[in-house]
Amino acid sequence: LGLKDDCALIAAPPGTELAVTTDSIIAGVHFFPDEDPGAVAWKALAVNVSDLIAKGATPLAYLMSIALPGAPDHAWLEKFAAGLGAAQAAFGCHLAGGDTDRTPGPISVTITAFGVVPEGCVVRRSTARVGDQVYVSGTIGDAALGLALRRDPALRATCGLNLEMRSVLEGKFSRPRPPVALIAALRTCASAAMDVSDGLIKDFDRLCRASAVGGRIEVPHVPLSAAAHAVVAAHGATLIDLITGGEDYEALATIPPSRAAEYERLAAAAGIAVTRIGAIEDASAGISAIDAAGVPLAIARTGWDHFLPPDVT
């Protein structure tokens, strides 16, 4: 209704269903209070699109509710709008409505995103089967390192990172790029999927529990960026830090063995790297992350908890 009414109208094409998801980002929790406003807008949309992708749903539209600590600052809003426009273009969806409020607290942006999925084709998290291969898109741990670099810029020198490496890591934290081009491949091949937002291990654990199966992550196979490899080599972080760090916004999928080749082919055609990192096992095998020798790693904390420190600040 042209953003000028009390509601928006959303019509899913015949034969499709609407997938809906909502996620908030809050200054001082999910982004730095002095973050580039364009990155704030980008991330607010990206974290929601990430959920749609993992369900095999094509982004369509979104509603945004934004709370600001005072009267809107024109320059801030202009950068925010530009970042939102860029994210919309990257993810293929448009703003359908929203709400603006003043808050005595920090800036907070809540987006509800709508995606379209052919009827009966949504990819659930509870339908992984014993014997499925476990795949993840992109690389894992970069966002956690980007956050660490923002907190402690000296880490860059300590770990011998060049400017490009720093920019890759910080970019993954502040402007995540969930793999929107992977949607068709997930819909076609995945038996189950979810996005990696709270840490690979924690989210894999959730997927296995929802599916009532066991499973293993083969940690040496988890894909890392060159920058992440450099940080680990310089003892700036451990592998466990990376696989429990959170904010990856990549797609974790279980693929039946008969579909694995097709999944790899469709992903390659879409320009998205996917890597086999483990397998689904019987529930009795439990859930584990194993090293090259097959020995389970001891992991004290599997990922991000909304009610534990640390904040980003």
Per CB under 8 A, 5 contacts a second copy: yes
Of 20 and 144, nearer to a second copy (C-beta) is 20
Rounded Cα distance, 154 and 54, in Å: 35
**How many residues sit close enough to a second copy to count as binding (CB under 8 A)?**
64
One character per residue 69-88, x = contact with a second copy (rule: CB under 8 A): -xxx----------------
In the complex, the smallest distance separating the C-beta of residue 33 from a second copy, rounded to whole angstroms, is: 10
In angstroms, the CA 203 to CA 93 distance is 26
Q: Kindly state the smallest distance separating residue 240's Cβ from a second copy, in Å.
A: 23
Identify the residue among 43, 91, 125, 288 touching a second copy (CB under 8 A): 125
DSSP 147-201: HHHHH-THHHHHTT--HHHHHHHHHHHHS----GGGHHHHHHH-SEEEEE-S-HH
Contact predicate 145/65, CB 8 Å = no
179: contact with a second copy by CB under 8 A? no
User: What mask of x and - would describe binding to a second copy in positions 10 to 49, judged by CB under 8 A?
Assistant: xxx-x--xxxxxxxx-x-xxx-------------------
Query: What value, to the nearest 5°, has the Cα angle with vertex 114 and ends 126 and 269?
Result: 70
Give dist(CA 198, CA 79) in Å, integer. 28
Contacts to a second copy from residues 47-66, by CB under 8 A: 51-52, 54-55, 57, 63-65
CB atoms inside a 10 Å sphere around CB 157: 8
Minimum Å gap between C-beta 4 and a second copy is 6
Stretch that binds a second copy, among 95-103, 219-227, 262-270, 293-301 (CB under 8 A): 95-103
Check residue 290 for interaction with a second copy (CB under 8 A).
no
Q: Give the one residue of 3, 73, 100, 238 binding a second copy; rule: CB under 8 A.
A: 100
Q: Of 7 and 293, which has the nearer Cβ to a second copy?
A: 7
Q: How far apart are CA 27 and CA 35, in angstroms?
A: 9
Among 3, 92, 102, 234, binds a second copy (CB under 8 A): 102
Q: Min. distance of Cβ 272 from a second copy in angstroms?
A: 18
Question: Judged by CB, which is closer to a second copy: 7, or 157?
Answer: 7
Do 135 and 276 contact (CB within 8 A), yes or no? Answer: yes
The HSE-up count of residue 112 (CA atoms within 13 Å, CB side) is 11
CB of 87 vs a second copy, minimal distance in Å: 18
C-alpha angle with apex 266: 260 to 271, nearest 5 degrees?
125
